[in-house]
Amino acid sequence: MTTPDMPADLPPANPESFDALGLISPLLAALQQAGHKRPSAIQQQAIPPLLEGRDVLVASQTGSGKTAAFALPILQKLSQTKRAHGPRALILEPTRELAAQTAAVCRMLGRQLSLRTRVVCGGTSREQQLKSLADGVDIVVATHGRLLDLVMQGDLVLEYISFLVLDEADRLLDEDFSESMNALVPYLPEHPQTVFCSATLPEPVMALAKRVTRDPVRVEVSEETFTPKRIRQRALFVDRTDKPGVVLKMLNAVEGRCIVFARTKNNVDALGKLLRQSDVKCETLHGDRSQGARNKALDNFRRGRVRVLVTTDIASRGLDIQDVELIINLDMPDTPEAYVHRIGRTARAGKKGVAFSLIDADERLRLREIEQHIGYRVRITTDDILDR
């Protein structure tokens, strides 16, 4: 049996358009309407085997188009089979924001199909979610806590699931998720077609992939690097107490949209307060805010009502926000992988971007670890650059 760490046959690469991948006309029309003219490399490789019914292991960085890569085959195959007395596709996401975004992609791509996508996650009314499920559902996009609650209470049946997607699987390895998955297994059919997506493939992730997939096609884009060349990376040595003032100076020097990452909720709130007092329109995002407040913050930022989002790493992965010109690391992240995901919020869809990291004396070693991880020497600059 082929395991995920062994090479598998891949379909021919570089088809010139989506219709070369075998997609049906309603999906092609939705793609055209959304302005998607050519499939990404991940989509070229993943869509054909998924349409053939194969399990697929997708190893890709954020921004590669992987959500559409699994959503399009799911929508097509569900549209060609009979509706059941419960959902037929389950997409598990690590955060509520990613669940909402993935559901939006499914609805957008399936706008010409009579398929219903519902979100099941904490932070919103349980009763409201039950009511939406009672109206009928084909695709459930869920976080594991609320999903397990509904399943174990008998409010949601998973016996008709024919597609299972574990998205951002390297973030689904914490103890709570492992317990939830073990509890969910008895409620799932024995071998649904499975899509396993992960930005990185360390051994614990590979072990999970081998457990949940059968003879998977492994899809990777070899030319991807840790950090795209389109991102201009700079570091600035700053005393910790001076960091908020430097951020304000940076924001006043640019006109476009910016995301500022901080390590703690307190730092997010403190910087957000300072920026508002300085007449900088911003939103703050972290796990202690209500789901409604989190949704409103993201919506205001996406729609351009504010140009600055101050956030913890809750927004560092998967969220697709266009035209972010500048990333600022107020605090350095705990891991090099988190750094890669943070700065990946800019330079999307072929555009360029800038990432500035503010580094105090205690964070210099962390910068060296990041440089070793990405194979790139981050240029050290001075705050004179902000005066240009």
Letter string b/e over residues 317-355, b meaning 16 or more CB atoms within 10 A of that residue's CB = bbbbbeebbbbbbbbbbeebbbbbbbbbbbbbeeeebbb
Q: Does the pLDDT at position 328 exceed 70? A: yes
The number of C-alpha atoms within 13 Å of 257 and in the hemisphere containing its C-beta is: 20
Q: How far is CA 57 from CA 86, 133, 191, 206, 241, in A?
A: 26, 29, 15, 10, 45
- Encode pLDDT of 265-277 as tens digits: 999 999 999 999 9
- Encode pLDDT of 109-118 as tens digits: 999 999 999 9
Residue 4: exposure state from Cβ atoms within 10 A (0-12, 13-18, ≥19): buried
Whether the per-residue pLDDT at 185 is higher than 70: the answer is yes
Q: Taking Cα atoms as reference points, which of 334, 322, 340, 325 lies closest to residue 378?
A: 340
In a domain, 181, yes or no: yes
Q: 2 falls in which pLDDT band (50, 70, 90)?
A: very low
Chain mean position to CA 81: 29
Round to whole Å and give the CA distance between 22 and 40.
15
Q: Are residues 214 and 284 in the same domain?
A: no
Rounded percentage of the chain residues whose pLDDT exceeds 90: 57
Question: Cα 311 to chain center, whole Å?
Answer: 15
Please report which confidence band the pLDDT of residue 385 belongs to, taking 50, 70 and 90 as the band edges: low
Q: Which residue range forms the structural domain that includes residue 312?
A: 231-387
Q: What is the mean pLDDT of the chain?
A: 87
Of 165, 192, 220, the residue at which a domain comes to its end is 220
- Name the one residue in this structure whose structure tokens are 């053939």: 52
Instruction: Tell me: do 192 and 293 sit in the same domain.
Output: no
End of a domain among 158, 188, 220? 220
Q: Given this model, what pLDDT does residue 63 score?
A: 64
Same domain (yes/no): 238, 216: no
Q: Which of 160, 193, 220 is the last residue of a domain?
A: 220
**Residue 275: what pLDDT?**
95
pLDDT band at 320 (very low <50, low <70, confident <90, very high): confident
Angular region, 262: left φ>0, alpha ψ -120 to 50, beta rest? beta
* Tens digit of each residue's pLDDT (9 = 90 or more) over 210-255: 888 999 999 986 544 556 678 899 999 999 999 999 999 999 888 8
Same domain for 246 and 211, yes or no, is: no
The per-residue pLDDT for range 121-157, each reduced to its tens digit, is 988 889 999 999 998 999 999 999 899 999 999 999 9
The answer to whether position 52 is within a domain reads yes
Number of domains in the chain: 2
Q: pLDDT at position 4, please?
A: 41
What was the pLDDT predicted at 37? 85
Q: Are residues 68 and 159 in the same domain?
A: yes
One domain for residues 142 and 265: no
pLDDT tens-digit readout, 340-375: 889 988 877 667 889 999 999 999 999 988 888 888
Residues 34-64: pLDDT tens digits? 888 889 889 999 999 999 999 999 987 666 7
pLDDT value of position 1:
37
317: confidence class by pLDDT, cuts 50, 70, 90: confident
Domain holding 91: CATH number? 3.40.50.300
Burial of 301 (0-12, 13-18, 19+ CB in 10 A): buried
Taking residues 147-173, what's their average pLDDT? 91
Token couple for 47: 């869509």
Specify the pLDDT at position 336.
85
Least confident stretch, 4-8, 101-105, 330-334, 362-366:
4-8
In this predicted structure, what is the pLDDT of residue 224?
45
